[in-house]
Structures are given as structure tokens and as C-alpha cells.
């Protein structure tokens, strides 16, 4: 599968910022084992920041260099590696199914486990302000709630919200029809499995969500929240075939382990 290289515009100690086009940037955290990506989309009137990463360093330090427009944060889902710098921004939006998670935290997920996952296998220098022993996921009241079918207007550029549960109950994907960019969060990426075996996941919902994004017309590039930046939309053909295979073998209900397909894998 073809992987398009992108120009690096900021090579920071912790963050790497790459340019997808003149008004779209990916802010990557390659020094962490999860290789997390957040995305800044700039319109004529405001900008949207899709997720805010791990919170090991302050992402606003990057976005301030890219735009002076007001920024609204659009949360793909409320896992610690996607909300780390939420506290640096005023306008935060999350799907209604995960409002309570953002306010109160995820029940049955200990802060000790989160700290362990955040602090392991780090390969780049971290800022002095990062203390793994004191790391606490962001909690706060969102500015507003997102629902399936919402249109986010940035001025000359709109984003369509798709509710895509499975990896988490309020997970969303976002589609930019003006450019054909599909931002899939943790619903679809390559190299490592998409996870659906935690108590808060749903394999059946995940498969339904994969099928749904595979039917979006006009996708020219797929941007997941981890690993490779920019996947060819031919992957969506493989997603359709994978959905059929999973259902045919009853793996959605009964499958365990990692199920590999051409370009991506899922773990139930």
C-alpha cells in the first residue's frame, strides 16, 4: 500500500509537525510507543484540532505556531492518549456518549494503569514538567456535545461527524468532503491492531462502524490516530471484505485474538 511522505514543518524535541496541505497539519508524538497523531484543520474563521495527544508536552505550543484563529477541540474519544492537552484549550467538544468519561474519568480504568502505559517505551527527551508518577488524565466539562451527522463549520470548510462506536462508546470519525480527508481516530489505522476487547469496547459495534466508513463517498486519504500518516482509500475495500469475513465466521460475537487483513488488523 502506498504511503505518501509529508513535509515536516516543525521538528520539535517532542512533537513533529507535518504539513498535509496549506491549511492541514498533523502533530505527531513519535517518541512514544503509540506514535500518536493529532490533526489541526484551519478554516477561514476558526480551526479544529482533532484530539490533543498524550499530554506529555503542551500541544498548544505547536498550534500557536500554526494559526492565530480560535481553536475548537474535537475529541475522537476519551482515552488518555487523545485528551492529554485538552486543558490547554477553551473550546472542547466530545460525543454525547462520552461526556461522563470526560467529566468523571473512565470507570474501572485505574490511574496506575494509565500512568504505566503513558510512561513506558519513551525514546525522546520529555519536558521537565512531565512527571509519570503524577500524570493524571484530563477531566473537565465540555463546551458542547457532538452527535452523528453534525456539521462543524470552520469557514469555507466543513467537517461531518460520524458516530463510530466499538473501540469506545462515543468514538467519532470526521470527514472533510472538501479535500476527501477521513480522520478515523482509533477506528482504523495500520501496523498495530485496532482494539475491541476491553470491558468498554464492543466488537459488534466496531465492525458496524468499519462497514459504515467504508461506504463514505469521496474519500481520498485516510488519517488514523496512530502509526502511518495517510493511508490509501483502497484500504476501505479491504475493510468491506474483512467485515464480511468476520460476520461469516461469527468472529464478531465469538472471536478472540488478532485477526489480520491486508493493511490493518483487529483484536477481539
4 forms beta bridges with none
Q: Is residue 195 part of a domain?
A: no
Q: Is residue 111 part of a domain?
A: yes
The model's pLDDT over 176-216, given as tens digits with 9 standing for 90+, comes to 999 999 999 999 999 999 888 777 899 899 999 999 999 99
Q: Is residue 246 part of a domain?
A: no
What is the domain-level CATH number for residue 61? 3.60.15.10
List the one residue out of 177, 155, 187, 178 whose CA is nearest residue 51: 187
Q: Is residue 77 part of a domain?
A: yes
Q: Is residue 58 part of a domain?
A: yes
Cα 149-150-152 angle, rounded to 5 deg: 140
Structural domain tally of the chain?
Answer: 1
Q: Which strands form 221-224's sheet, in the order they lie side by side?
A: 151-153, 158-163, 172-176, 181-185, 221-224
Q: Is residue 36 part of a domain?
A: yes
Instruction: Judge whether 85 and 64 are in contact, CB under 8 Å.
Output: no
The span from the CA of 138 to the CA of 228, in Å, is 26
pLDDT in tens, the chain (268 residues): 445 589 999 999 999 999 999 999 999 999 999 999 999 999 999 999 999 999 999 999 999 999 999 999 999 999 999 999 999 999 999 999 999 999 999 988 899 999 999 999 999 999 999 999 999 999 999 999 999 999 999 999 999 999 999 999 999 999 999 999 999 999 999 999 988 877 789 989 999 999 999 999 999 999 999 999 999 999 999 999 999 988 877 666 655 678 888 899 988 8
The residue segments making up the domain with residue 166 are 7-189+219-232
Pairing between β-strand 47-50 and β-strand 36-42 as defined by DSSP bridges: antiparallel
Q: Is residue 256 part of a domain?
A: no
22-52 b/e (C-beta count within 10 Å ≥ 16 → b): ebbbbbbbebbebbbbbbbbbbeebbbbbbb
Instruction: Judge whether 218 and 177 are in contact, CB under 8 Å.
Output: yes
Instruction: Judge whether 130 and 203 are in contact, CB under 8 Å.
Output: no
Q: Is residue 83 part of a domain?
A: yes
Amino acid at each position: 500500500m502506498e504511503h505518501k511522505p509529508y513535509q515536516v514543518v516543525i521538528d520539535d524535541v517532542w512533537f513533529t509537525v507535518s504539513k498535509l496541505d496549506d491549511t492541514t497539519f498533523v502533530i505527531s508524538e513519535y517518541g512514544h510507543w503509540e506514535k500518536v497523531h493529532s490533526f489541526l484543520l484551519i478554516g477561514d474563521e476558526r480551526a479544529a484540532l482533532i484530539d490533543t495527544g498524550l499530554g506529555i508536552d503542551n500541544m498548544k505550543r505547536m498550534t500557536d505556531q500554526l494559526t492565530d484563529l480560535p481553536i475548537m477541540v474535537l475529541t475522537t474519544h476519551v482515552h488518555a492518549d487523545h485528551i492529554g492537552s485538552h486543558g490547554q484549550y477553551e473550546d472542547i467538544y466530545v460525543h454525547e456518549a462520552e461526556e461522563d468519561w470526560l467529566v468523571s474519568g473512565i470507570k474501572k480504568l485505574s490511574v496506575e494503569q494509565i500512568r504505566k502505559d503513558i510512561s513506558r517505551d519513551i525514546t525522546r527527551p520529555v519536558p521537565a514538567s512531565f512527571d509519570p508518577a503524577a500524570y493524571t488524565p484530563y477531566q473537565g466539562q465540555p463546551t458542547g456535545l457532538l452527535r452523528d451527522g453534525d456539521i462543524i463549520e470552520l469557514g469555507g470548510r466543513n467537517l461531518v461527524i460520524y458516530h463510530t462506536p466499538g473501540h469506545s462508546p462515543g468514538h467519532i470519525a470526521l470527514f472533510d468532503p472538501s479535500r476527501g480527508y477521513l480522520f478515523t481516530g482509533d477506528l482504523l489505522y495500520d501496523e498495530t491492531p485496532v482494539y475491541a476487547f476491553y470491558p468498554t469496547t464492543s466488537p459488534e459495534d466496531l465492525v458496524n462502524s468499519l462497514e459504515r466508513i467504508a461506504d463514505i463517498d469521496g474519500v481520498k486519504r485516510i488519517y488514523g490516530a496512530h502509526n502511518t500518516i495517510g493511508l490509501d482509500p483502497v484500504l476501505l475495500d479491504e475493510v468491506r471484505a474483512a467485515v464480511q469475513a468476520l460476520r461469516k465466521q461469527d468472529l464478531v460475537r465469538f472471536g478472540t485474538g488478532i485477526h489480520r487483513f491486508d493493511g490493518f488488523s483487529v483484536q477481539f
